[in-house]
Structure 1
C-alpha cells in the first residue's frame, strides 16, 4: 500500500502563488506529477469547487483544502509551508501551513478519518510549532504520520498529545470549532453523495 504522504509531497518555504486558486493548482500538479492523479486539471477543478463551497482556513495560519475526485489514483496528503502566506478564509488571517487531502469517490470514511485526525492535531500549538520549525521534508512527514497514528512518528506524537500543555483558552477553542466545521462540511458532502458515485462537483474524469 502506498504511503499517504512522502517527502516528495512536502514543500517548504515556497511562494506558490498569491491566492488559494494558485495554491490548489500547485498541489494538483504536484500530486499528478507524482503519479498519484491521472489529470492535474481534473483534480484542480474538483478541489477548487470544494473550496468555493466552504472555505477551509482555520485559526492559527492553517488551511485544509480537500476533495474527492475521479482523477485521484492514490489517496494523498500533501503539505506546503508557504512564504508568503495565502488567504484561505480564516477569520484571523492567511495560512502559511496548508494541507491538501485528495481521495477518490467511495472513500468517504477514510477521507474523513484523515481530515479529522489532522484537524485535531492542528489545534495543538506544539504540533504546529514543530511543523514551522521543521528543517526537512522528512521531518514534516514524520510529524504528520505521527499525528495520523502511522509510521515512525506515531509513538512520539501520541506522547506529545498526552503531555500537551496548551491552555484551553479562547484561541484553542476557536481553532477547534473551526476545524470541526471543516470536518462537518466534508461529512455533509459525503452524505450527499450515494455510495460508489462521484461527488456532484467531480470533473476529474472529464
Structure 2
C-alpha cells in the first residue's frame, strides 16, 4: 500500500500535548476511533499497548512506529503525531521520541502490515525527512510535508 493512502489531515497531530508514551497511545487511539470505520478507542489502545509490551516500537533517531493488527479494523490507517516536547518511548537508542507514526491494519493483513512498516521505517531512516517533519508548525503543514516526502521517495 502506498503510504500516502494511509493518512488524511484528520489523522495528523502536530505539537500534540502529550507527556508520556501512555498518553500518546491514548490520544492516538481516541483520534483514530473517532473516524467511522475504525474500532473503539479501548480496542485500539489495548492493541497498541499489547504490542508495546512485546518490545518498544521506538526505532531510534527520535522515531516510533506504534502498530498493531486488529480484528475490527477494515482497512489500514495511520496517524502522524509530533509531540509538543519529546517523550520517553523506551526506544532502542534510549533517546526521546518526537516523531510518531501509528499504524492499524486488519488482523488478516499480515503481509500488508509488514510492507507498510518497512516503507515507514525506510522513510523515517532518512535524516532530511525527519528534519523536515520536525520543522512543521501545523497539522496542515505536517500533512502536506509528509505527503510530498512520501511521493518524492516513492513510498
TM-score (norm 2): 0.87
Distance 2:15 2:139 in 1: 11
**1:146 Cα shift?**
4.8
Distance 1:73 1:99 in 2: 19
| Equivalence for 2:153 | 157
Gaps of 5+ in 1: 149-153, 162-206
How many aligned positions are there? 150
**1:145 Cα shift?**
3.7
Partner SS state of residue 86, structure 2: strand
Residue range with higher mean Cα deviation, 60-69 or 30-39 = 30-39
Distance 1:107 1:59 in 2: 26
**1:35 Cα shift?**
1.8
Partner SS state of residue 79, structure 1: strand
Distance 1:55 1:36 in 2: 27
2:98 to 96, 99, 124: 96
Distance 1:15 1:135 in 2: 14
| Equivalence for 2:136 | 134
Distance 1:147 1:38 in 2: 29
Q: How does 1:114-129 map to 2 (within 5 A)?
A: 114-129=116-131
The 1:101–1:147 alpha-carbon spacing in structure 2 relative to 1, beyond 3 Å, is: farther
Residue range with higher mean Cα deviation, 135-144 or 93-102 = 135-144
Residue range with higher mean Cα deviation, 27-36 or 5-14 = 27-36
The 1:138–1:113 alpha-carbon spacing in structure 2 relative to 1, beyond 3 Å, is: farther
Largest Rg, 1 or 2:
1
1:6 to 5, 8, 11: 8
Distance 1:43 1:71 in 2: 10
Q: Alignment RMSD, CA only?
A: 1.9
**Relative contact order, higher structure (CA 8 A, sep 6+):** 2
**Does 1:79 pair with 2:95?**
no
**Does 1:24 pair with 2:59?**
no
Gaps of 5+ in 2: none
Partner SS state of residue 84, structure 1: coil
Alpha-carbon contact 1:36-1:73 (below 8 Å) kept: yes
